[in-house]
């Protein structure tokens, strides 16, 4: 994806978060990896969303969606008002319950784009630490979250200055092995982990989403 197009997609995501009803409240939007580094073109656009808990909504609408769409949990895990406005974006998990991360991806992403969406209840910085701990414990380096991120939206406020620096490629970050070393990994392990992260990302195609709970 050309860098200019990637930044345009980031802005479109921010516009949607600011103006559209969302399936769950969105507290933060970050971008990380290639786009944060100023690369052009980029292999994939990586976006991180911090979601808040949904305040229970319209249970009657939820029952209607269970009957009409076979999806449970509308009004509990995702907003019933959102589902009523955007029924085409309603997605369920394997158990038939509305999946917030899949609903967000359906609303914010296009199917054929090389864009990855991470959705978690924790902030980006907190989840970077937790994912690193889990990856080290399981020897699953490909699950590490690239720590080189830029916060573009937090607590209902968009950072225009961060967006301008992102568009201009003015942000400076270390290499991925160096960034992982700064988080406490040994030199050799950091290099191995960086290779695993790159290989994992290279194997992804189209739009992808991952939901996480910390």
Q: What residues have CB less than 8 Å from 108, skipping those under 6 apart?
A: 13, 16, 17, 47, 117
Q: What is the mean pLDDT of the chain?
A: 93
pLDDT attached to residue 63 = 83
Vertex 44: Cα angle to 147 and 105 (nearest 5):
90
| pLDDT given for residue 61 in this prediction | 77
Identify the three-state secondary structure at position 41.
coil
The rounded distance, in Å, linking the Cα atoms of 89 and 102 is 9
pLDDT band at residue 10, thresholds of 50, 70 and 90?
very high
Residue 6 has pLDDT above 80, yes or no: yes
Reply yes or no on whether the pLDDT at 143 is more than 80: yes
Retrieve residue 116's tokens: 């990855």
Structure tokens at 5: 């197009």
**Can you give the residue ranges of every domain in the chain?**
3-52+99-212
Residue 7 backbone class (left: φ over 0; alpha: ψ -120 to 50; beta: rest):
alpha
* Strand partners of residue 28: 50, 154
The answer to whether residue 214 scores a pLDDT higher than 90 is no
What confidence score (pLDDT) does residue 53 get?
Answer: 84
User: Cα(176)–Cα(179) distance, rounded to whole angstroms?
Assistant: 5
Indicate if the alpha-carbon torsion angle 88, 16, 75, 212 is positive or negative: positive
What are the counts of helices (DSSP H) followed by strands (DSSP E) for the chain? 8, 6
Find how far residue 96's CA is from the centre of its chain: 22
Per-residue pLDDT at 58: 63
Better pLDDT: 154 or 53: 154
Q: In 3D, which of 210, 17, 207 has the Cα closest to residue 118? A: 210
Kindly state the greatest CA–CA separation across the chain.
Answer: 56
Alpha-helix residue ranges (DSSP H) falling in the chain: 3-19, 59-69, 80-85, 100-108, 124-138, 160-168, 176-182, 187-202
Question: Which pLDDT belongs to residue 54?
Answer: 79
pLDDT 10s digits, 62-120: 788 888 888 999 998 999 999 999 999 999 999 999 999 999 999 999 988 999 999 99
| Sheet strand arrangement including 45-51 | 157-158, 149-154, 26-32, 45-51, 115-120, 208-212
How much is the pLDDT for 57? 64
């Amino acid at each position: 994806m050309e860098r200019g197009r990637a930044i345009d997609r980031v802005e479109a995501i921010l516009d949607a978060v600011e103006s559209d009803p969302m399936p769950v409240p969105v507290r933060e939007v970050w971008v990380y990896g290639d786009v944060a580094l100023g690369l052009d073109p980029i292999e994939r656009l990586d976006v991180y969303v911090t979601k808040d808990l949904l305040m229970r909504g319209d249970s009657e609408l939820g029952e209607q969606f269970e009957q009409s769409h076979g999806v449970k949990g509308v009004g509990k895990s995702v907003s019933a008002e959102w589902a009523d406005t955007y029924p085409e974006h309603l997605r369920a998990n394997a158990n038939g319950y509305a999946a917030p991360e899949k609903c967000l991806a359906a609303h914010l992403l296009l199917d054929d784009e090389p864009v990855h969406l991470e959705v978690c209840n924790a902030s980006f910085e907190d989840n970077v630490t937790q994912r690193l701990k889990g990856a080290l414990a399981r020897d699953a380096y490909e699950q590490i979250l690239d720590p080189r991120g830029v916060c573009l939206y937090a607590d209902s406020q968009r950072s225009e200055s961060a967006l301008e620096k992102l568009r201009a490629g003015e942000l400076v970050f270390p290499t991925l092995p160096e960034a992982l070393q700064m988080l406490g990994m040994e030199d050799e392990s950091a290099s191995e982990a960086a290779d695993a992260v790159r290989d994992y990302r290279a194997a992804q195609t189209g739009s992808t989403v991952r939901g996480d709970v910390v």
